[in-house]
């Protein structure tokens, strides 16, 4: 498996094929619980007619060795963020998305205390994503493919409104759980 380096400060490695030691999984779960975000990112790519949702785990902190340990143990990538103000410490960000995020969650879920609900929601969301092809029922256009025998017209399909609504509900639930400062179960994310 190969990864491309996004920029000179980004380092990305594939998920480890070996299982994570219990002590390491507990330690990493503590970092994710305390400094991390587990949720679903909503995106509207310019070339797409509908929104896209992605599972995401992100940890931001000033301790680069801890971020490297996350990356080296669980896979994924990390990068150095731009300083928002001069004189502040450098902030490092660890990140995994989609299948890699699911793998990380399965490695640490038994040790999560604060963000366990978010982890469970993201894993449910990933189950829904695995069946996404059966929801590609909405016809949004057609494309012509010229070939030796003439033109072949193929329908362009998108996910159904029902599927998009399910994804959006997972997104909203995670957003509520990750809300800062509301005084309920919702903790920083």
Residue 188 lies in a domain: no
Q: Is 67 exposed, middle or buried (0-12, 13-18, 19+ CB in 10 A)?
A: buried
Length of the chain: 189
User: Domains in the chain: how many in total?
Assistant: 1
Cα dist. 182→19, 39, 104, 177, 178 in Å?
Answer: 37, 18, 28, 10, 10
pLDDT in tens, the chain (189 residues): 233 333 333 434 344 444 678 888 899 999 999 999 999 999 987 777 778 899 999 999 999 999 999 999 999 999 998 877 788 888 999 999 999 999 999 999 999 999 999 999 999 999 998 887 777 777 777 888 888 887 888 877 777 888 889 999 999 999 999 987 654 444 333
Range of the domain at 26: 11-178
Rg (CA), the chain: 20
What gap in Å lies between CA 117 and CA 124, rounded to an integer? 11
Residue 46 lies in a domain: yes
Residue 55 lies in a domain: yes
Q: Is 90 exposed, middle or buried (0-12, 13-18, 19+ CB in 10 A)?
A: exposed
Residue 184 lies in a domain: no
The CATH number of whichever domain residue 71 belongs to comes to 3.10.28.10
pLDDT attached to residue 11? 39
pLDDT attached to residue 106? 92
pLDDT attached to residue 123? 96
Give the SS3 label for residue 21. coil
Residue 2 lies in a domain: no
> The dihedral of CA 20, 25, 31, 32: what is its sign?
positive
pLDDT attached to residue 21? 83
Residue 102 lies in a domain: yes
Residue 187 lies in a domain: no
Residue 189 lies in a domain: no
- Global confidence as pTM: 0.76
């Amino acid at each position: 498996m190969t990864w491309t380096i996004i920029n000179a400060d980004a380092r990305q490695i594939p998920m480890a094929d070996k299982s994570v030691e219990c002590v390491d999984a507990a330690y990493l779960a503590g970092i994710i619980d305390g400094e991390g975000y587990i949720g679903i990112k909503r995106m509207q790519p310019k070339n797409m007619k509908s929104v896209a949702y992605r599972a995401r785990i992100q940890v931001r902190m000033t301790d680069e060795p801890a971020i490297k340990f996350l990356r080296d143990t669980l896979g994924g990538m990390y990068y150095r963020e731009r300083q928002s103000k001069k004189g502040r410490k450098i902030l490092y960000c660890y990140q995994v998305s989609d299948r890699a995020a699911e793998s990380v969650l399965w490695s640490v879920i038994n040790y999560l205390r604060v963000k366990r609900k978010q982890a469970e929601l993201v894993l449910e969301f990933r189950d829904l994503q695995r069946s996404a092809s059966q929801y590609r029922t909405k016809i949004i256009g057609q494309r012509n493919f010229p070939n030796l025998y003439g033109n072949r017209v193929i329908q362009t399909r998108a996910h159904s409104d029902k599927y998009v609504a399910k994804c959006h509900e997972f997104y909203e639930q995670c957003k509520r759980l990750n809300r800062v400062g509301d005084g309920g179960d919702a903790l920083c994310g």
